[in-house]
Chain A
Amino acid sequence: MDNVALLVQIFFGAALINNFVLHYFVGICPFLGVSRRIDMAFGMGCAVTFVISIAALLSWTFTYYILRPEAPLPAWFWRMAGGDPEVQIDLSVLSYIMYIFVIASSVQFVEMYVRRFFPPLYKSFGVFLPLITTNCAILFACLEIMKNLQDPTQLWGLPEALTLAVGGGVGFTLAIVLMAGIREELELCNIPKPLRGAGITLIVAGIMAMAFMGFTGVDQGIQNILNAMIE
């Protein structure tokens, strides 16, 4: 049951308290670029959540089995090749290249798969898919997973990694949809000319970030409720 509490904490931490967009500032480009209409913003959010989960799954697998300092696969190859078993293989220097490769290829595969099997879905968010390769939110999720996998006190498993990814995706969707709703209303307002466009969007984002700071402590509260329910 400890495990569930940790998962809940990770989920709400990623979605609300340390929101990817409003706290870590990742994924700002689509946040400013695609937040003009609610339906487009929602499409972008769904596409990001989808890709972030797949990328997290793949990057956790690669990190755990290949890139981590005590990873089993390179050590096995090293012994098969007749290397000294005392030597420890550490491939973590390759992790950035691996992650960007995983992200770029998973975006490509998702695009092909969706186009082949779900044509209506492809029509609705197909245009956003190529943009996602350069979305730092995905790379950020991979890096967080790597950080917590290499930390011996944490040693995240696959459930934690996936929860972080889905939570981050949900948080991104929430932020971008809220922003699109506000921007639709802003169209009707008389904004000083120099601030129109990106300026006012950033100021609104600042106020939203202040509001999201109010979520601090929510994860602890939910954990307390869960613990009370268990007892």
Chain B
Amino acid sequence: MAAASPTALERFLNGIIPENPVYRQLLGMCPVLAVTGAMKPALTMAAATAFVLICANLLISLIRGLLKPHLRILVFTMTIATFVTIADRFLAAYLYDMSKELGPYVPLIIANCLIISRCEICSSKQSVGVAFADGVGMSLGFALALASIATVREILGSGTWFGLTVLPSFWPTWGIMVLPPGAFLVLGLLLGLVEWIGHRRATST
């Protein structure tokens, strides 16, 4: 068992590209689609998810000896819900406008399958250090994915990046990109692109 389970470094690196939560595992799709209209909300969302993921991973890993098999999903969701409440109150206190903009998607982190799947796969089985590395790696991978989609949508949709104008004024902004359909189209095409690059790498070596 010990030989089969990945070490902390492997877990950390896996989270970023090889097992990227969005592009490889298709997990946590609601925030990926909903908050990527611009860079700022996307990165705030990524930070909130990272906080919840790392804290939940640590706590679950600490109590993994006490978990009963039939109650574990309930314990996972309650732990996550607690940390989400903390993150939500914090955002409402210090970043009020951002918390209004993200609206229901901060509490919806509770139902983000990414966090439950990491609790189930990694932290309920492995030690605290490995769980922490896994949480950080997965959060970085998630932030990377959110940032990539938000970059495409914000530049094409409003001609800005982080609120700074990047496209010349004669460029028509594509209104559809900041609306819901744009999210689906961009994510679908980016998924295809990632698949294509991965496929080309595999055949060229």
Contact = CB atoms under 8 A, between A and B. Distances in A.
A23 B108 contact: no
A72 to B, nearest CB: 23
A138 B189 CA distance: 28
Q: Which of A28, A193, A201, A207 has the most CB of B within 10 A?
A: A28
Interface in B72-111: 73-74, 77-78, 80-82, 84-85, 88-89, 104, 107-108, 110-111
A5 interface: no
Nearest to B34: A25
Interface in A111-148: 133-136, 138-140, 143-144, 147
Contact of A199 (B30, B110, B183, B189): B189
A143 B84 CA distance: 14
Contacts of B155: none
A178 interface: no
B29 A104 contact: no
Given A97-B81, A198-B191, A199-B192, A136 B181 contact: no
Given A32-B29, A135-B111, A209-B184, A144 B104 contact: yes
B121 interface: no
B145 interface: no
B32 to A, nearest CB: 8
A101 B195 CA distance: 38
B182 A195 contact: no
Contacts of A101: 74, 78, 81
B146 interface: no
Interface in B150-203: 176, 179-185, 187-189, 191-193, 195-196, 199
A215 to B, nearest CB: 13
B181 A213 contact: yes
B122 interface: no
18 contacts: A24-B104, A28-B33, A29-B27, A29-B113, A96-B81, A96-B88, A97-B81, A97-B82, A133-B77, A134-B77, A134-B111, A139-B110, A193-B195, A198-B188, A199-B188, A203-B185, A210-B176, A210-B181
